[in-house]
Structures are given as C-alpha cells and as structure tokens.
Amino acid sequence: MQKILLFVDKVSTWVGHAFSFFIVALTLHVAWEVFSRYALDNPRAWAFDVMIMFYGTLFMMAGAYTLAQNGHVRGDVLYGFFRPRTQAALDLALYIVFFIPGVVALTYAGYFYAADSWRIDEHSNITYEGPPVYPFKTVIPLAGAFLLVQGIVEIVRCIICLKEGDWPSRQADVAEVDVEKLKEELNVKDEDIQKLDQYVVKQETH
C-alpha cells in the first residue's frame, strides 16, 4: 500500500514540476510584450488572454503537487498541537465532507465545460483576435482528476494514521534548510557567526 501511495506522490510531483515551466513561459511572454509595446510600439491585443491562460494552467496543475507535499494552507496554530490520530480524524472528516464533493463537482462540471468549448471552437471574446480557449478549459477536468486521485491517497493516509497512531511517510521534494547540517558541511561554528555579527554591528555604528 505504501508503494502505491508514494507512486501517486511521485506522479503528482512530476506533474507539478512539468507545469512549473509555465512560469518561465509566462515571464518571457510578459517581458516580450512589454518590450514590444513600449520599444517597438507594437502591442498584441491577445497578450493578456495568454497571460491569464498560462497562470491559470500553472495554478490549477499545481494543486495535486501541493497536496502531495502537504503544502496547502491550514490552521497550524491549533492543528500542530493535536496528536497524529486527532489530526487524521479532523483531516478525514474535512476530506469527506468538503474536499471530495467539491473536487468531484469540479471534475464532472469541468469535463462538460471543456467539451462544449471544443464543440463550438471557442475563442476568447476579450479581444477581437482572441486565442482559442478550449485547450485552457481542458485543464480544468484534468487538474481536478489529478487532485482527486491525490486526495484519495491522503484519505488512505488518514485511515493508516488512525490505525497505527502515526503518519505514514510521503514523497519528499523541496525541504527547509537544515541550518545545523549546513554549518557542519561548511565547517562553520557558532563562535564564527557571533564574531561576524559583532563585526557587522561595529561597521553599522561607524
């Protein structure tokens, strides 16, 4: 079971990494549009539509990845003090009552939303030369499906935690910097840091 859970984590992580390159495309697109508008005096009417689609795609397709990394916002002020079983019970209730119905509705409605867009060859009506919208709308059910599968994995983790009393491991990606390990690798001692702090303070006072 753990291998299956970690496999889904890996898939969600891979999808998140793949679509993260949209931020690069978005940055280049915006930079070129600014240059084209002010340096070449040749603005493109459809540029704003493309910006929305790039950002929307990035935002939606990062949902499963963020859930796999346990990175969504929660009230950690109270949640962090709970025992693992209490956390799991709370998460399980929220997944069943809110998450699953909402994501199922998103995926179901998004499918027909995208299908209608393809059927009518929908283009953006914000500008007279708006780009096609149907590829962007296809992302809605696709992102919903990935998020739903990852959500089921999280529900299984909650059940395992309720049985065993501790959270099962998950696929790790970007972690916070381990300061102690970093100091060990760089052979830096606390005394060296204190001396540096004192030197900085002296320089600021002079």
Contact 151, 103 (CB under 8 A): yes
pLDDT at 70: 82
Q: Where are the domains of the chain?
A: 2-175, 177-206
Residues 6+ apart with CB under 8 A from 113: 137, 140, 141
Question: Using CA atoms, how far apart are residues 13 and 67, in angstroms rounded to an integer?
Answer: 10
Quote the percentage of the chain above a pLDDT of 70: 84
- The dihedral through the CA atoms of 90, 92, 96, 100 has a sign that is positive
Count H helices, E strands: the chain? Answer: 10, 0
The mean pLDDT of 125-147, rounded to a whole number, is 90
> Taking the model in full, what pTM does it have?
0.76
Q: What angle do CA 109, 49, 14 make, to 5 degrees?
A: 60
Burial of residue 195 (CB within 10 Å: 0-12, 13-18, 19+) is exposed
